[in-house]
């Protein structure tokens, strides 16, 4: 099969082609696995974290990609949930132990044996991929293959982030960074909490304009103060500066949810500006988002189909995965980026 593979950790300041085209053997499904012919695969910032070594794959070469949409072409002998021809998707969670306390309560994202698609197991930057049937999810017909792909990470992790804010209808929500995940959160929040107002912080003027098009009541730069203090803020950036600035903009008792698997080191000195009285005093909270659980994906896909939430996407052929990744790295973002594989 054709694939784009990562062979080693690289510095994206020194190369714009971290992935190499390769011919790999077609994967073979295990007893409880399904084999997918990949149709599309979303491009996520987490891939940059893998490439640059912030969340390194345990082995090389590896096939990245964890927003996978495909058709079932083969099922393992013990797999019963899907049949050949079904269209399903895969998110960041590839598998977990299934028996620990976290798994039993539906929080497989915290399982010590959590394995990630496109990091611990080969993902969707290839013509075929394998996944345990319990971690594949049916895709409603309302979504095209390209629209469905970002829902499996950007959407699902945004859903978990929004839930972790504890927001209630009428409370104010801030979004700092406005890429694939945040633009889906904004659409979701407007539907689920119609009396809540959404404020967006983004470096790019185009991102701020896009946020206003989607219904934000205010959009400003990262360092700008909104017209009022906010009840909760979700940070979707790879940097530390937006975290410190967001804390300054929270009300008393407000909560900041950090939706990032890793933070880049380039601006970590900004943490020295953290001031307890202005940033953390008055019972402000910080909560991280760790991976994503199966129920987050399942619940969000159903919600997205009901609303419906349709991500804005830019498509690229599989062979142009490097271009999509570098545009993401340099901030050329409007909605989500998706590779067309089949």
Least confident of 157-166, 225-234, 328-337: 328-337
Find all residues with CB under 8 Å of 342, minimum gap 6, and list them: 37, 38, 39, 40, 70, 127
Distances (CA, A) of 159 to 293, 300, 303: 11, 6, 10
Could you identify the residue written with the tokens 């909760």?
A: 232
Nearest CA-CA partner of 303 in 134, 93, 140, 106: 140
pLDDT of the residue at 63 = 98
What domains, with CATH codes, occur in the chain? 2-138+312-340 (3.90.180.10), 156-288 (3.40.50.720)
Strands (E), the chain: 2-6, 19-23, 33-43, 62-63, 68-75, 87-90, 93-95, 115-116, 128-132, 137-138, 173-176, 198-201, 218-220, 230-235, 250-258, 285-288, 313-317, 336-340
Cα dihedral 54, 58, 40, 334 in deg (nearest 10): 0
Q: Are 66 and 90 in contact (CB under 8 A)?
A: yes
For residue 199, list its beta bridge partners: 174, 218
With pLDDT > 70 as the criterion, what percentage of the chain qualifies?
Answer: 100
pLDDT of the residue at 335 = 80
State how beta strands 313-317 and 336-340 pair.
parallel
pLDDT of the residue at 82 = 98
pLDDT digits (tens, 9 = 90+) for 283-319: 999 999 999 999 999 999 999 999 999 888 999 999 9
pLDDT of the residue at 272 = 87
pLDDT of the residue at 131 = 98
| pLDDT level of residue 261 (50, 70, 90 thresholds) | confident
pLDDT digits (tens, 9 = 90+) for 271-282: 889 899 989 999
Q: Write down how long the chain is.
A: 342
Q: Reply yes or no on whether the pLDDT at 180 is more than 90.
A: no
| pLDDT level of residue 262 (50, 70, 90 thresholds) | confident
pLDDT digits (tens, 9 = 90+) for 126-170: 999 999 999 999 999 999 999 999 999 999 999 999 999 999 999
pLDDT of the residue at 265 = 83
pLDDT of the residue at 333 = 76
- pTM of this structure: 0.91
pLDDT of the residue at 179 = 87
Least confident of 65-69, 194-198, 202-206: 202-206
């Amino acid at each position: 099969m054709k694939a784009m593979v990562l062979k080693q950790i690289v510095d994206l300041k020194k190369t714009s082609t971290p992935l190499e085209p390769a011919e790999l053997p077609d994967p073979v499904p295990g007893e409880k696995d399904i084999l997918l012919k990949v149709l599309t695969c979303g491009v996520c910032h987490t891939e940059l974290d893998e490439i640059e070594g912030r969340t390194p794959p345990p082995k090389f070469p590896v096939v990245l990609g964890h927003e996978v949409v495909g058709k079932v072409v083969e099922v393992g002998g013990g797999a019963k949930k899907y049949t050949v021809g079904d269209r399903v998707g895969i998110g960041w969670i590839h598998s977990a132990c299934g028996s620990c306390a976290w798994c039993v309560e539906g929080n497989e994202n915290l399982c010590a044996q959590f394995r990630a698609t496109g990091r611990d197991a080969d993902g969707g930057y290839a013509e075929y991929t394998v996944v345990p049937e319990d971690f594949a999810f049916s895709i409603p017909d309302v979504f095209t293959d390209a629209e469905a792909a970002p829902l499996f990470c950007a959407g699902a992790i945004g859903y978990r982030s929004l839930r972790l804010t504890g927001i209630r209808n009428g409370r104010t929500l801030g979004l700092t960074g406005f890429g694939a995940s945040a633009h889906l959160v904004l659409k979701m929040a407007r539907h689920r909490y119609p009396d809540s107002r959404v404020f967006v912080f983004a470096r790019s003027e185009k991102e701020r304009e896009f946020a206003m098009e989607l219904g934000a009541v205010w959009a400003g730069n990262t360092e700008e103060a909104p017209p009022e203090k906010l009840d909760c803020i979700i940070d979707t950036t790879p940097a530390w500066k937006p975290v410190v600035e967001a804390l300054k903009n929270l009300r008393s008792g407000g909560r900041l949810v950090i939706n990032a698997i890793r933070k880049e080191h380039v601006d970590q000195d900004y943490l020295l500006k953290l001031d307890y009285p202005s940033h953390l005093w008055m019972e402000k909270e910080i909560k991280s988002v760790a991976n994503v659980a199966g129920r987050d994906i399942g619940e969000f896909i159903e919600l997205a189909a009901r609303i419906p939430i349709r991500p804005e996407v830019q498509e690229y052929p599989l062979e142009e995965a490097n271009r999509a990744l570098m545009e993401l790295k340099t901030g050329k973002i409007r909605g989500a980026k998706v590779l067309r594989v089949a």
